[in-house]
């Protein structure tokens, strides 16, 4: 029966788990709006080229993790493993660079797919929330994007966080660093894993990110990217740090932070959870600058920076930190009906209540009065509206305030406006 269960690395999100998802989405979107970022939605699959070239064909993502398939027209398509390549593709395709409103500040959320080994915080389908800001090479924009990230986390109630930053430099700096890396690894190349030997040829920076060789003695002594930054790149990094200082956003510089995607230059950053007891994977969010990526998609020279986190990992962080999670809202009213006629009348009443915006429900299992009251309690209903044969004969209902225990008779014709007014009064009291 395996085939009738969840595929490995995926999950169902049941109603009781949805609230925290909605909370994270809401807070993230509202914060983005405060920073003047606008939402963009792109397809869940793209031509494989978009990721192969966008993310980079020396990355683990492209080499080992993509869900790639042929459609019936024999095109190679891929379920998106991340959002940046798609957003850049859309930016070029719709010539968003032509808009007078620059930089173009976008955010997105949706499922991403990577064929990885599942563990806590690592799924094969996960939901990213990300932002991309295109069209400015100011280090102030890098700081803004980080400020936005920290603001989202603060609003969610996360406190055990560490922002780690690095600079990979511009092309000239990267070439210098690449040469130094090759010189460093070449004599002992045969002691590295097969993947790293291939990386050596194509992109030696990737070696520093190897999951197998991370404890190899050559790693600790590898030349630092920060020692190979040219004047301009150092200046850029210095200005970013100065801006973060001004905003009083704490950070650590880690010259070993290289990130797993090929498109980065200058700024790279990750946000880690430092909550005691957080699992093995502590990275909550990753991002960086990708000047040059827009040209790769056939657009004009346009710098860009962004980040993405997965909602799954933020939930782990919220739970590990013991942040109070949102709880279900109770019903406004539960209609208790006794007898067939009353149940009919209750249907009509419910429909009217709901149209008036009152959150309400009734029994459909022909339960006894006591059990219907229990249901009202279970749904945390503020009011029980009781329709018995007696009441029905007089075209009224007994309305009971569940917490206070007070009750009164209200004419059916008056019930909807009466209840709305009561509920409004309660809201003002809260």
Least distance between ligand HAM and beta carbon 86 (Å): 9
Q: Taking CB under 6 A as the criterion, which residues in 331-390 touch ligand HAM?
A: none
Contacting ligand HAM (CB under 6 A), which of 177, 265, 306, 333?
306
**What is the Cα–Cα distance from 72 to 120, expressed in whole angstroms?**
36
**What is the Cα–Cα distance from 273 to 347, expressed in whole angstroms?**
50
263 known member of a binding site: yes
Instruction: Report the relative pairing of strands 333-337 and 360-362 from DSSP bridges.
Output: parallel
Which residue stretch of 21-29, 121-129, 136-144, 338-346 sits at the interface with ligand HAM (rule: CB under 6 A)? 121-129
Asked whether position 82 contacts ligand HAM by CB under 6 A, the answer is yes
Asked whether position 114 contacts ligand HAM by CB under 6 A, the answer is yes
Asked whether position 152 contacts ligand HAM by CB under 6 A, the answer is no
Asked whether position 204 contacts ligand HAM by CB under 6 A, the answer is no
Contacting ligand HAM (CB under 6 A), which of 51, 53, 56, 83?
83
- Helix (H) or strand (E) segment spanning residue 125: strand 125-134
CA-to-CA dists, residue 19 to 10, 121, 225, 326, 354, angstroms = 19, 19, 43, 6, 22
289 known member of a binding site: no
The beta strands (E) that lie in 220-359 are given as 252-253, 265-273, 283-289, 304-310, 333-337
Three-state DSSP at 411 gives strand
Which residue stretch of 23-31, 71-79, 115-123, 395-403 sits at the interface with ligand HAM (rule: CB under 6 A)? 115-123
Contacting ligand HAM (CB under 6 A), which of 66, 123, 181, 208?
123
Contact 144, 246 (CB under 8 A): no
Residues forming a β-bridge with 361: 334
Instruction: Report phi then psi at 25, rounded to 5.
Output: -60, -45
Three-state DSSP at 261 gives coil
**What is the Cα–Cα distance from 86 to 63, expressed in whole angstroms?**
18
Asked whether position 108 contacts ligand HAM by CB under 6 A, the answer is no
Least distance between ligand HAM and beta carbon 270 (Å): 7
Complex with ligand HAM: residue 23 or 273, whichever CB lies closer: 273
**What is the Cα–Cα distance from 201 to 316, expressed in whole angstroms?**
38
Asked whether position 103 contacts ligand HAM by CB under 6 A, the answer is no
Asked whether position 136 contacts ligand HAM by CB under 6 A, the answer is no
Contact 115, 284 (CB under 8 A): no
Contacts with ligand HAM, 243-272, as mask; x by CB under 6 A: -----------------xx-----------
Asked whether position 303 contacts ligand HAM by CB under 6 A, the answer is no
128 known member of a binding site: yes
- Cα–Cα nearest to 281, from 322, 306, 314, 321: 314
67 known member of a binding site: no
Complex with ligand HAM: residue 88 or 392, whichever CB lies closer: 88
Contacting ligand HAM (CB under 6 A), which of 78, 84, 136, 173?
84
Asked whether position 278 contacts ligand HAM by CB under 6 A, the answer is no
Contacting ligand HAM (CB under 6 A), which of 104, 128, 166, 233?
128
Asked whether position 310 contacts ligand HAM by CB under 6 A, the answer is yes
**What is the Cα–Cα distance from 126 to 63, expressed in whole angstroms?**
19
Contacting ligand HAM (CB under 6 A), which of 56, 103, 223, 288?
288
Least distance between ligand HAM and beta carbon 87 (Å): 8
84 known member of a binding site: yes
Task: Report the chain's terminal Cα–Cα distance, integer Å.
Answer: 50
C-alpha radius of gyration, the chain, whole number: 28
Complex with ligand HAM: residue 87 or 397, whichever CB lies closer: 87
97 known member of a binding site: no
Least distance between ligand HAM and beta carbon 306 (Å): 3
Contact 329, 20 (CB under 8 A): no
Three-state DSSP at 201 gives helix
- Cα–Cα nearest to 18, from 160, 158, 127: 127
Q: Is 169 left (phi over 0), alpha (psi -120 to 50) or beta?
A: left
What residue spans of 255-327 are helical by DSSP H?
A: 293-296, 311-321
- The annotation places the binding site for L-histidine at 82-84, 114, 128, 132, 259, 263-264
- The annotation places the binding site at 82-84, 114, 128, 132, 259, 263-264
- Contacting positions for ligand HAM (CB under 6 A): 82-84, 114, 116, 121-123, 126, 128, 130, 132, 260-261, 283-288, 306-310, 312-313
């Amino acid at each position: 029966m395996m085939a009738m269960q969840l595929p490995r690395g995926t999950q169902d999100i049941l109603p009781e788990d949805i609230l925290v998802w909605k909370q994270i989405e809401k807070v993230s979107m509202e914060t983005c709006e405060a920073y003047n970022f606008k939402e963009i939605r792109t397809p869940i699959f793209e031509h494989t080229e978009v990721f192969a070239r966008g993310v980079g064909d020396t990355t683990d993502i492209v080499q080992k993790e993509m869900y790639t398939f042929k459609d019936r027209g024999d095109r190679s398509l891929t379920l998106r493993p991340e959002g940046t390549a798609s957003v850049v593709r859309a930016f070029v395709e719709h010539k968003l660079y032509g808009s007078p409103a620059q930089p173009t500040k976008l955010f997105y959320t949706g499922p991403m797919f990577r064929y990885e080994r599942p563990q806590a915080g690592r799924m094969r389908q996960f939901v990213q929330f990300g932002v991309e800001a295109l069209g400015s090479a100011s280090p102030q924009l890098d700081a803004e994007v980080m400020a936005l990230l920290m603001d989202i986390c603060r609003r969610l109630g996360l406190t055990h966080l560490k922002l780690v930053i690095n600079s990979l430099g511009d092309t000239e700096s990267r070439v210098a660093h690449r040469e130094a890396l090759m010189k460093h690894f070449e004599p002992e190349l045969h002691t590295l894993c097969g993947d790293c030997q291939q990386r050596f040829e194509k992109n030696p920076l990737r070696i520093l990110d190897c999951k197998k060789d991370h404890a190899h003695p050559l790693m600790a002594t590898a030349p630092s990217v920060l020692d190979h930054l040219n004047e301009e790149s150092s200046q850029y990094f210095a200005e970013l740090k100065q801006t973060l200082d001004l905003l009083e956003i704490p950070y650590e510089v880690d010259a070993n932070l290289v990130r797993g995607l090929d498109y980065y230059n200058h700024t790279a950053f990750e946000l880690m959870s430092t909550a005691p007891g957080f699992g093995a994977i502590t990275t909550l969010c990753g991002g960086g600058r990708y000047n040059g990526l827009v040209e790769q998609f056939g657009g004009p020279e346009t710098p860009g920076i962004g980040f993405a986190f997965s909602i799954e990992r933020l939930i782990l962080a919220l739970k590990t930190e013991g942040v109070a999670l949102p709880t279900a809202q109770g019903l406004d009213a539960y209609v208790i009906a006794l007898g067939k006629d009353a149940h009919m009348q209750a249907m009509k009443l419910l429909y009217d209540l709901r149209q008036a915006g009152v959150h309400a429900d009734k029994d459909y299992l022909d339960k006894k009065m006591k059990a219907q009251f229990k249901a009202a309690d279970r749904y945390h209903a503020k009011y029980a509206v009781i329709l018995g044969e007696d009441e029905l004969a007089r075209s009224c209902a007994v309305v009971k305030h569940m917490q206070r225990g007070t009750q009164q008779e209200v004419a059916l014709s008056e019930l909807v406006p009466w209840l709305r007014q009561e509920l409004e009064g309660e809201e003002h009291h809260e």
